[in-house]
A = this chain, B = another copy of it.
């Protein structure tokens, strides 16, 4: 009959805030399910943010069907500190939870796709994408408005420079990444059904911050080709071109052949915004956003020019 309070902060000593997130997000994802096993009536979770502020950061969580589906609420980091202090003073503290979130009926929604046809190998597709949906609290400006805009911008950059690509460049705004990757799964299913050949896919879903490189998820042979371009990126402040994570959406295209890439922006501020009401247009810096587009356009230019 108790409420379980999960208050383990993200580890601030991790330089990558995504590593810090990975080490703490089990509390939000599995906290309620674990607490229910022991008879808890609710779970309260410290927000996944390294910043002390007043904004709840929410996100996906799951239940265990063998146990009751108890309420789970994220509270801001400041509130978590306050609650922790109050609990130390008064063990018998009572909390009243009033929550109004609900799961609405499903509706149809769509991926949005635009492309420039390749003039030499039109059947070889290089896709660049972000996701069109966002978590509830903010506008989803960094997560993932940035990735959508950057993907459109990549194609615009090719057009504005008058570069006609040999391969087909495709900007994909995936629908419903947050709630099960359903747009990405449908896109991958369609690609397979149509026999489309995706040479490469690049995703921007880590915020519109100053870019530092790319994660590469590709075969050893293709990784080697991309690593041979490392010095070309280094000179423009993109030293982190290395094997790593690509993106949740494009990972649905993984088939042993398609080379996958994830834009790696500086991660320090990402969890100031992630899934919180702070993730609004005004929090995105135009220049940082544009540099991310330019970085992806550069990678795509090289892949288009030299193949993979």
- Give chain A's interface residues, CB within 8 Å of chain B: 12, 15-16, 50-51, 210, 212, 234, 236-237, 239-240, 266, 268-269, 272, 285-288, 291
**Shortest 8 CB-CB contacts between residues of A and residues of B:** A239-B239, A210-B268, A210-B266, A15-B237, A268-B288, A268-B287, A15-B236, A50-B287
Q: How many copies does the complex hold?
A: 2
Question: Contacts of A50 on B, CB cut-off 8 Å?
Answer: 287
A2 → chain B closest CB, angstroms: 34
CA distance A297 to B133 in the complex (A): 42
Known interface pairs A15-B237, A16-B237; 7 further A-B residue pairs with C-beta atoms within 8 A, sorted by A's residue number:
A12-B287, A15-B236, A15-B291, A51-B286, A210-B268, A268-B285, A269-B288
CA distance A272 to B288 in the complex (A): 12
CA distance A50 to B291 in the complex (A): 13
Question: Contacts of A236 on B, CB cut-off 8 Å?
Answer: 15
CA distance A272 to B286 in the complex (A): 11
CA distance A92 to B167 in the complex (A): 52
A285's partner among B234, B269, B287, B288 (CB-CB below 8 A) is: B269
With a 10 A CB-CB cut-off, give which of A16, A210, A285 has the most chain B CB atoms. Answer: A210
A231 → chain B closest CB, angstroms: 12
Question: Contacts of A16 on B, CB cut-off 8 Å?
Answer: 237
- B268 adjacent to A51 (CB under 8 Å): no
| Closest chain B residue, CB of each to CB of A13 | B294
Question: Contacts of A240 on B, CB cut-off 8 Å?
Answer: 239
A189 → chain B closest CB, angstroms: 38
